[in-house]
Amino acid sequence: MANTVLVGLQWGDEGKGKIIDVLTEKVDLVVRFQGGNNAGHTVEVGDEKFVLHLIPSGILHEGCQCAIGNGVVVNPLTLHQEIVELEARGFEVAKRLRLSSRAQLVFSYHCIMDGLFESKLGESKIGTTKRGIGPAYADKVNRVGLRASELLDLEGMEHRFRTQAAFYNEIFAEAGVETVDLAAEWGRLKKVAEKLAPMVEDTVVSVNRMARDGRNILFEGAQGMWLDVDYGTYPYVTSSNTTAGAACTGGGLAPSRIDHVVGVAKAYTTRVGEGPFMTELFDGDGERMARIGNEFGATTGRPRRCGWFDAVATRYSAMLNGVDKLAITKLDVLDDFETIKVCTAYELDGKTIGEMPVCTRDYARVKPVYQEVPGWRQPTTAATSWQELPTRCREYLEWLSRLLEAPLDIISVGPRRDQTFFLE
């Protein structure tokens, strides 16, 4: 297993949480390295369902340690809530979770600002999760953010929190939106800070110690390639680098220590929020994918837009992320389709192109060129090995692997742990 980075290859919600959970059986430490509680990673264990937002999905395996790295933006109130909820369900969290002292903190003023930006954008809004992610990363880059190390110095933290919140309150008052009640908010933060403080440490040291001792470390990506702030469909993206390189800068392990990159892709495509999406379907096929795949956001509950697999976009993702193990999820959702389409090229201004245009306005104008194959029309949900998959289904997967120039490694045929198998 060694040190592995796992990332989403599409627009998020590829089933990363489920694959992380399965891989965690062989892992000693799972590290989140970017994003915040905009993420919603679902893991189903038996009859129980867990949706993790900030805590790494490895927490559901008793022997596994978890860390939230410096690249993550952490809302202390929601992190605390997540810990309380998991502990109420019988998981020991406090002793197994470490929080980087360098991680930026997200406060209610970031969330209000997120909403304010969105309302100012009107029709051009991004469709954010309103979790304050963009404003928190902006504060980090503006060098006015508060880091988790503040949780160890409550007096200093109170001063800095109040100063920064007062600055935002001026903006809110002028814009005519709700302001932050500083006393009430600080009262909540203080209580939570005392509980989180023992988890705060320089995670670079613990991560590297584990690596030196030959332990297996898994870096859990959030969101997906096309939401990356540099490479994604800008400006319809999130505010962090969601690609594999971010595991090093946000997780604290050098590139020379990374052994593998697992890229997770759905057998079709979904997107939640605004922004162009070339293979989006507005017909019965799209509705069918949404219904069978239960495509509703794990964080906001918003319906996800659905479409066919986009091999042009996903090949680029596999290349950029250096994927050497491909995980295809939600294969079962296509079980009943008479025919299945895959976008293998784009057409722009009458010309066929093999890459996604960098300019999002151009991307919004391309037309997908599809190839169509007959579906397998048999249930795959009970398959436990490659051999048990219908021939046409295996051909579909091999085709995707060829198009993406990345080797298949993991197949997922349902939301449960046992509905997953490896191609050894």
Q: Using CB under 6 A, which residues numbered 125 to 144 contact ligand IMO?
A: 126-129, 131, 133-134
Stretch touching ligand GDP by CB under 6 A, among 23-31, 309-317, 391-399, 413-421: 413-421
Reply yes or no on whether 41 is catalytic. Answer: yes
For position 36 contacting ligand GDP by CB under 6 A, the verdict is no
Cα separation, 191 vs 189, in Å, equals 5
Reply yes or no on whether 362 is catalytic. Answer: no
- Please tell me whether residue 309 adopts helix, strand or coil conformation: strand
SS (H, E, C) 75-103: CHHHHHHHHHHHHHCCCCCCCCEEEECCC
CB of 131 to ligand IMO, least distance (A): 5
Q: Which partner from the list ligand IMO, ligand GDP, Mg ion, none does 406 bind, CB cut-off 5 to 8 Å by kind?
A: none
For residue 303, whether the previous peptide bond is cis, meaning omega lies within 30 degrees of 0, is no
For position 180 contacting Mg ion by CB under 5 A, the verdict is no
Q: Which one, of 228, 273, 231, lies nearest residue 359 by Cα?
A: 231
CB of 335 to ligand GDP, least distance (A): 10
From candidates 298, 306, 397, 404, binder to ligand GDP by CB under 6 A: 298
From candidates 75, 104, 239, 420, binder to ligand IMO by CB under 6 A: 239
**Could you tell me if 70 and 250 are in contact, meaning their C-beta atoms sit under 8 angstroms apart?**
yes
Cα separation, 195 vs 190, in Å, equals 9
Cα separation, 311 vs 305, in Å, equals 17
Site string for ligand GDP, 234-273 (x = CB under 6 A): ----------------------------------------
Helices assigned H by DSSP within 31-149: 76-88, 108-121, 133-141
CB of 13 to Mg ion, least distance (A): 4
Active-site annotation holder among 21, 28, 41, 285: 41
**Could you tell me if 223 and 35 are in contact, meaning their C-beta atoms sit under 8 angstroms apart?**
yes
Q: Which partner from the list ligand GDP, ligand IMO, Mg ion, none does 413 bind, CB cut-off 5 to 8 Å by kind?
A: ligand GDP
For position 13 contacting ligand IMO by CB under 6 A, the verdict is yes
Which is nearer to ligand GDP, 192 or 313 (by Cβ)? 313
CA distances (Å), 58 to each of 54, 108, 325, in order? 11, 28, 19
The binding site for Mg ion (CB under 5 A) comprises 13, 40, 298
